[in-house]
């Protein structure tokens, strides 16, 4: 009897122990399935590309440059030995690394007559050089010495960039821009009778063009912006054959791509034309391509657009021809701020734009608003509309 009771108690105790073990196992298993891990709140923020240009005459007081800033004295009477220096500070004020080109644009010459009775251009004799600087130059000789190896006459530089570099966010780089007339210049730049009427004049603007650089990384690498513009200055030639295959973003006052006289260009790249006012601050333009003289431009592909066009001056041509120039469009996308001015030829010229392909935003090249008999879709091609875009395709 006692043995039977003991056995029953042992069985009851074992059963209870098993139940408790199972309960604990279930609880442990339940805990494993409901265990969680979490991160804090994730925030994403748009990057900002922002380049600023400041200038100083003494390397101490710095002022921001705007459309009307005159960094050189415009009342100067240039003569051999005359030298002017301005210090320019390029600042990356945004949150993204950028690459930039610092240069001159809108070079304008008025010719004069010298004491020898010959016409002359001041920009054939005044030189411009640029060098990195960390302090103001002690004297004129030091300034000229710093840039003379790379200095060129203004006409030799033209509407192009002078220097370029990559710049990390919140950093600056300072350059000295030295303008001088060499002492070896003689009477060829001496105006007739020392009369201001016969004196040659020149004007130009200074700009910094920037776009994003390959620096920041995503989940894969730092090459996601490798297709950003790699050419940041206008390209201009008056002869020879030239191919543009690298994306570019440049001053479009006279064309980011400028074909003159007998030059021939073939383009298969993105061309973004940046709007820039002229030296007087009153007019501007943002032409991606400009062809003049007897030049020829063939556009095989790329994206052609206008950048930073102000609301008070939205009318400017994207692709423009004058003189006897011809432009042939075989492909690419074209989007102008004012669609009617996507393609245009100067009235009264012999210029011609022929379209054999491409997509045009709100612009039908078979029915141009401007340039009747100057802009035409070639025989064997027609236009197909797709929403806001007009596509030129083969018959």
pLDDT score at 115: 87
Q: Tell me what the pLDDT averaged over the chain comes to.
A: 83
* 232/376 Cα distance (integer angstroms): 31
pLDDT score at 12: 55
Given a cut of 60, whether residue 143 has pLDDT beyond it is yes
- The least confident of 184-188, 288-292, 330-334 is 184-188
Exposure string for 32-53, b = 16+ CB within 10 A, e = fewer: eeeeeeeeeeeeeeeeebebeb
Cβ atoms of 365 and 374 within 8 Å: the answer is no
pLDDT score at 107: 73
Binned at pLDDT 50, 70 and 90, residue 103 comes out as confident
Residue 217 burial (CB count, 10 A)? 10
Exposure on the CB side of residue 9, measured as CA atoms within 13 A: 6
C-alpha distances (whole Å) from 394 to each of 18, 381, 382 are: 84, 4, 6
pLDDT digits (tens, 9 = 90+) for 37-53: 544 455 455 667 788 88
- The least confident of 14-18, 76-80, 165-169, 191-195 is 14-18
Given a cut of 90, whether residue 222 has pLDDT beyond it is no
| 273 vs 223: which has the higher pLDDT | 273
Cβ atoms of 304 and 332 within 8 Å: the answer is yes
pLDDT score at 35: 47
* pLDDT, average across residues 203-232: 75
DSSP state letters, 134-149 = SS--SSHHHHHHHHTT
* pLDDT, average across residues 124-138: 93
* 200/214 Cα distance (integer angstroms): 44
pLDDT digits (tens, 9 = 90+) for 238-287: 888 999 998 988 888 889 999 999 999 999 999 999 887 655 555 678 99
pLDDT score at 335: 97
Exposure on the CB side of residue 363, measured as CA atoms within 13 A: 28
């Amino acid at each position: 009897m006692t043995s039977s009771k003991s056995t029953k108690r042992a069985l009851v105790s074992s059963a209870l122990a098993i139940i408790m073990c199972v309960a604990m196992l279930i609880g442990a298993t339940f805990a494993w399935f409901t265990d969680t891990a979490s991160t804090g709140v994730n925030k994403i923020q748009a990057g900002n590309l922002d380049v600023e240009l400041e200038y100083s005459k003494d390397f101490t007081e710095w002022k921001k440059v705007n459309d009307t800033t005159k960094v050189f004295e415009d009342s100067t009477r240039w003569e051999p030995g005359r030298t002017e220096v301005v210090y320019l500070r390029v600042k990356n004020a945004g949150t993204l690394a950028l690459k930039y080109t610092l240069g001159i644009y809108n070079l304008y010459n008025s010719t004069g007559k010298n004491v020898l009775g010959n016409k002359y251009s001041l920009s054939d004799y005044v030189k411009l050089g640029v060098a990195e600087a960390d302090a103001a130059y002690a004297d004129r000789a030091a300034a000229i010495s710093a840039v003379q190896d790379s200095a060129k006459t203004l006409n030799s530089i033209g509407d192009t960039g002078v220097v370029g570099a990559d710049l990390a966010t919140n950093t600056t780089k300072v350059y000295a821009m030295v303008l001088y007339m060499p002492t070896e210049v003689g009477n060829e730049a001496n105006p007739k009778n020392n009369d201001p009427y016969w004196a040659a004049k020149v004007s130009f603007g200074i700009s910094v063009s920037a776009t994003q650089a390959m620096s920041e990384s995503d989940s894969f690498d730092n090459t996601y912006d490798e297709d950003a513009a790699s050419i940041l200055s206008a390209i201009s030639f008056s002869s020879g054959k030239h191919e543009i295959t690298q994306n570019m973003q440049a001053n479009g006052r006279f064309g980011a791509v400028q074909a003159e006289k007998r030059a021939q260009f073939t383009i298969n790249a993105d061309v973004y034309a940046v709007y820039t006012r002229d030296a007087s601050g009153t007019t501007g333009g943002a032409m991606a391509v400009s062809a003049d003289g007897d030049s020829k431009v063939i556009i095989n592909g790329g994206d052609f657009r206008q950048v930073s066009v102000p609301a008070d001056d939205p009318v400017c041509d994207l692709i423009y021809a004058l003189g006897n120039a011809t432009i042939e469009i075989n492909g690419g996308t074209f989007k102008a701020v004012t669609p009617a001015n996507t393609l245009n030829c100067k009235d009264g010229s012999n210029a011609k734009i022929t379209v054999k392909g491409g997509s045009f935003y709100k612009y039908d090249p078979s029915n141009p608003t401007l340039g009747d008999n100057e802009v035409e879709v070639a025989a064997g091609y027609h236009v197909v509309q797709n929403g806001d875009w007009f596509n030129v395709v083969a018959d």
